[in-house]
A and B are shown apart, each in its own frame.
Chain A
Amino acid sequence: MIEIKDLHKSYKMGSNSLHVLKGINFNIEDGELVAIMGSSGSGKSTLLNILGMLDGADSGEYTLDGVPIKNLSETKAALYRNKFLGFVFQSFNLINYKSALENVALPLYYQKVPRKERQEKAMQYLDKVGLKPWAHHLPSELSGGQKQRVAIARAMAAEPKVLLADEPTGALDSKTSYEVMALIQKINDEGNTILVVTHEEDIAHMCKRIVHLKDGVIVEDKKIEQVRAEQYV
């Protein structure tokens, strides 16, 4: 699904240049649930941004579902993001004046799905994350866990090939974190490819594979025995 070869990225800070990614190589197969771990400054968020086409790499190859991602125009990147990727952020990033339902329906709007169909589909996904009764609430009326579930529903509504989660549990307490992870595992069980960036060991162990990043290089890449999150909920 994802193939990355010798990926480099550096940021210019005034006259200095900060080399964040120093040659990353790895592949992700269809249906995998991968945790990318690393302390802050290890380059994991940068890697995710590049994978999410939110940022461009300096050099290296990135192929997503057989499509080379290189020198994309803004418009093309937007198109690919909409078609291939779903995002879940640490700070949820819901649009605060739109209801949960409208938030979930938003990616479908950019897929030019008709309004009625959009709302039906959004409702389906809200139901899937157990938030149907909250469909018409604003984000400010939801708890952190609920917000993140809305965000996951939104990411899934567009039926992406890969779900990218950047510290999805970073702003949540451990109980809600496990709830969210249980949801992510459920979505993975249905065959979706998911990438989770985290620095929490227990969260990482709820994935099927852990990739350790340190100072811009992969230091460890291992498959693990998945810990099911349901047992903690």
Chain B
Amino acid sequence: MFDLERWQEIFDTIRKNKLRTFLTGLSVASGIFILVILLGFGQGMRNGIEHEFKEDASTSIWVWPGVTSKEYKGLNPGRRIQLVNENYNNADAMFKSDIEYGSSRIFVRGITVNYGKEALIYGVQGVAADFQFIENASMLEGRFINYQDEISAGKVAIIGNKIKKDVFHEVDTPIGEFIDISGIPFKVIGVFKEMEEREEERIYIPITTAQKAFNGGNRVNNMSFTLPPVDNFDQAVAQAINFKNGLKEYLQQVHTIDPEDSSALEVWSAMEEAKRYYGLTNNIKLFFWFVGICTIIAGVVGVSNIMMIVVKERTREIGIRKALGAKPWSIIGMILHEAIFVTAISGFGGLIFSMALLELVGPNIEVDYVLNPSVNFNVAFSTVLVLIVAGTLAGFVPAYRAAKVKVIESLRDE
């Protein structure tokens, strides 16, 4: 490998057989190129789907009550399940160690909202301080509801960015302005931003205020939690399912719901949903790998095909070299050395070109569900190595056969 003389001999041969070398190189380079691009897009789709799920905290779990559909312990189907504060507090206490954030929520109904003389038709929701983290809402101005607001049932409101743009365009900042909810003035103390505009059309007030001021009693419309993030995805899913089941069991017991009744209580976990998409992207990834590997195989076949032709074409030359005293292994070595060199150079060429393309173009791709396609360098690198090894093996057989041919026979070859 480090024999300078051999290198010079190889370079001579390559220099004088440019077309042959170029074609071999092209088939290798394009194989690698296609594989890297495919893998890149596989990763891009994964990234894209991950991105779509960033709307809410990825570990969030939501509880939505419904109507029972099964008779259970003497209770009729068709019962509406109503969550109450106590449910939330108990759940919070029971799963204290598992939960990162939690909030119950109330949709305030039968109210009118006004700003000055303008009537607003935005939904008002009573939530807890931690709800900000569950929704993944980022604060543009001011602050979110805090614990003090909750305890004191403060008359404060947080509005979405869209409301600010639509309603408060005449003032510098909506902070400090008052909106009127069914005759009660609420002071705007923050503006939040969401991934989707639809979710910015909300007004949040402390849940305690919502219950006290608008006849909510101790009723709660839904509950949501987030779990602490875990690095390992599978572990995160397992954790989410575990928590979900525990929570469901508790709520089913309290509200006397048949465990088989699916319509009475829905507990939805973002993690599980994500897992389904992950499964999908895994399949896509698998498919891309499959196509990629087929491409590589085609590349290897191409290389060995070319090697075979090369050896055939050089039979006479090989005979001459042997007559001049070339040992069989030096013939094999020469052919393989050339093959490896060409495969390696063009393989890495294809690798560098495709990775550069992904680096340059990738971040600019703006298609739904495809985000920043990129490829793991190690994976791509080892693919090139595999191709080189495969190319070598593919070249070995014809090279070995050529070296074994009797000199007189190869010299007779015209």
A residues contacting B by CB (< 8 A) are 49, 52, 54-55, 74-75, 78-79, 81-83, 87, 89, 91, 93-95, 97-98, 102, 106-107, 109-112, 114-115, 154, 158
Contact = CB atoms under 8 A, between A and B. Distances in A.
B285 interface: no
A54 B408 contact: yes
B152 interface: no
Nearest to A114: B5
28 contacts: A54-B406, A55-B406, A55-B408, A74-B403, A75-B329, A78-B322, A78-B326, A78-B327, A79-B327, A81-B322, A82-B324, A82-B326, A83-B325, A87-B323, A91-B411, A93-B316, A93-B411, A97-B17, A107-B324, A107-B325, A110-B326, A110-B327, A112-B5, A114-B5, A115-B5, A154-B324, A158-B324, A158-B325
Contacts of B406: 54-55
B407 to A, nearest CB: 4
Given A54-B408, A93-B316, A81 B324 contact: yes
B317 interface: yes
B348 to A, nearest CB: 26
B169 interface: no
A55 B322 CA distance: 12
Please classify how large the interface on chain B is, using the bins under 10, 10 to 19, 20 to 34, 35 or more. Answer: 20 to 34
Nearest to B8: A115
A114 B5 CA distance: 8
A109 B5 CA distance: 8
B17 A79 contact: no
A87 B319 CA distance: 12
A106 B134 CA distance: 77
Contacts of B324: 81-82, 87, 106-107, 110, 154, 158
Interface in B299-348: 316-317, 319-330
Nearest to B320: A93
A81 B5 contact: no
Contacts of A95: 317, 320-321
Nearest to B6: A109
A225 to B, nearest CB: 33
B16 interface: yes
Given A55-B408, A95-B320, A110 B325 contact: yes
A10 B394 CA distance: 36
B21 to A, nearest CB: 12
Interface string B185-206: 0000000000000000000000
B9 interface: yes
Contacts of B8: 115
A55 to B, nearest CB: 6
Contacts of A115: 5, 8
B405 to A, nearest CB: 10
B166 interface: no
B406 to A, nearest CB: 7
B13 interface: yes
A67 B12 CA distance: 36
Contact of A54 (B13, B17, B323): B323
Interface string B152-181: 000000000000000000000000000000
Contacts of A74: 327-328, 403-404
Contacts of B321: 95, 106, 110
A75 B328 contact: yes
Given A109-B9, A115-B8, A78 B328 contact: yes
Contacts of A98: 12, 16
Contacts of B319: 93
A109 to B, nearest CB: 7
Nearest to A96: B317
A75 B13 contact: no
Contacts of B403: 74
